[in-house]
Structure 1
């Protein structure tokens, strides 16, 4: 009890402070010292982030714990993405996890009369995603869907990668491909569908922005949404982690080939929230903005594109 009081007393003022060098490094140092990992009540905490989002997070999860002290989660990027939203904009958060992107962008979309579909296949993640949507009163703006997105329909096996501690109930889902034994904490099954099928089922008739972070399955997601993507030409922010992509037998070269006839331009993230044009496409490109060539200079400036 005393440890959690000390932890919370340190974290509250830190969350209110703007970013400073080393801020994100505090969580993995202090949380193990000041948290009882055996006590779920001590690990599941509700925090208010600097952008106003209310989030229930699990301090045992490396993905989530940094926001406890930092007060944000990709805050610079989220400001960029929120700045390009217009009245009635439509967003897809593919690989929503517990909702850091969905809640932050959903709060902006609520003021604009827009909509966001939050896609998350893993039950513990999905349950807390739904909780966080309700916590922020976004039920009429953010619509959670418990499914994976790929290039097939049916059911799949997922690996759930380890968090900070094996007792964490959430983690990043990885489609069963290749040798992932070093990161597997548990397996689960989940439904899978394609973006094209999902759009038909849920009557998604517009899309302005997609964030996709699905641990290497990004290319399969794109292949399963060719009609939807060609029709709506959204701006896409994708992780494309080269290690995970390799598990699926592809690299960013294949992503570039996929978009080769679509007149998209690629911008690589530099720093926390800036992007520069990709001059040379390499297999290991990651954290990339894919932007239709017709996108205006004002939108590019809002996204932090330089050059």
Structure 2
């Protein structure tokens, strides 16, 4: 029986105080396990149970849990499966930077960079409406809704309205259906049998070149991109951006995601070479040149730096 139901029974006089104490304690003991995880995870500070939701407090930001998801961003940070590379990204963000967070999700990267670079201008883009509302909620929670400009849209190689496939865990939404059925399962929350769901919705997209020109953006210093496999098409829509504005790019590239879009990540590496960029991985401290992905590649996140514009950064952080 759920704690809420026990509360209602006690209030109605149908459960004695002593029995209520015993049954309620059984349900509250898992809080001790959460406290132990917080002690082990140096990045997490606390979990706050509030009337309007449950909030994870990290060293720099706060995020709402979304337990309707099979897995949510705050949860992955708490239990230690979400890598923290904000400090690494921050090294490549100059003073007064303009930053694009493409595939912003619920705002973890945008918020982290906003705290680290208070003089920056950040644009956060999230095409899936439910996830976008989560982004807005977290921006308000951290008081960053003025600093971070949130846009309900995505990027692609064309402008318009495109079909997105949204599984029950909507953080895995993509322009191509995900193949991992784990993400189809709805959040458990002890509600009984877990159902599977995959919705099809229409989301607005634009090209990088058109958005930058239409909004009069003359400076773009850093782009983070995580679009569940659509990265090649996102970058293809920004030929002028990468040729002229030459931002540092931090992007996810996975063979399994790219395959759903019928390309290989090496095509992205070649595309950037045409704009004067080289590809790098990192050991957490230094940039490591990366030429070609093969079946033995374990890395999933990569930097692209322009060999001329970013010469000083390469001297400072190159291997």
TM-score by length of 2: 0.75
SS for the counterpart of 2:124 is: strand
Matched with 2:62 is 54
Cα distance, 1:262–1:108 mapped onto 2, change above 3 Å: same
Q: Is the 8 A contact 2:209 2:237 kept in 1?
A: yes
1:113-128 to 2 correspondences below 5 Å: 113-128=119-134
Q: Give the unaligned 5+ runs of structure 2.
A: 4-23, 45-49, 185-197
Going from structure 1 to structure 2, the CA distance change for 1:300 and 1:127 (only over 3 Å counts) comes to farther
Residue number in structure 2 paired with 1:212: 225
Q: CA RMSD in A?
A: 3.0
Tell me how far apart the structure 1 counterparts of residues 51 and 259 of structure 2 sit (CA, whole Å): 37
| Pair 249,108 (structure 1): closer, same or farther in 2 beyond 3 Å | same
Asked whether the equivalents of residues 94 and 221 of structure 2 are also in contact (C-alpha less than 8 Å), the reply is no
**Based on CA coordinates, which of the two structures has the bigger radius of gyration?**
2
The aligned residue for residue 33 of structure 2 is 10
Counterpart secondary structure, 2:162: strand
State how far apart, in whole Å, the 1-side matches of 2:95 and 2:27 are.
Answer: 42
The answer to whether structure 1 residue 288 and structure 2 residue 294 are counterparts is: no
Question: Which position in structure 2 is the counterpart of 1:261?
Answer: 274
Q: Is contact 1:150–1:221 with CA below 8 Å preserved after alignment?
A: yes
Give the structure-1-normalised TM-score.
0.78
Q: 1:248 to 1:160 in 2, by over 3 A?
A: same
Structure 1: distance between partners of 2:207 and 2:304: 20
Post-superposition CA distance 1:206-253 (Å, at most 9, x none): 111111010110010001111112111111111111111111111122
Aligned residues: 272
Equivalent of 2:262 in 249, 252, 268: 249
Alpha-carbon distance in 2 for matches of 1:104, 1:243: 28
CA-to-aligned-CA distance 1:185-206 (integer Å, 9 cap, x gap): 2221111111111112333221
Partner of 1:143: 149
CA contact (8 A) 1:235 1:289 kept: yes
Instruction: Provide the C-alpha distance between the structure 2 equivalents of 1:69 and 1:48, rounded to a whole number of angstroms.
Output: 13
- In the TM superposition, 1:210-249 aligns within 5 A as 210-249=223-262
**Matches of 2:92 and 2:216, distance apart in 1:** 23
Q: d(CA) in 1 for partners of 2:159 and 2:264?
A: 23
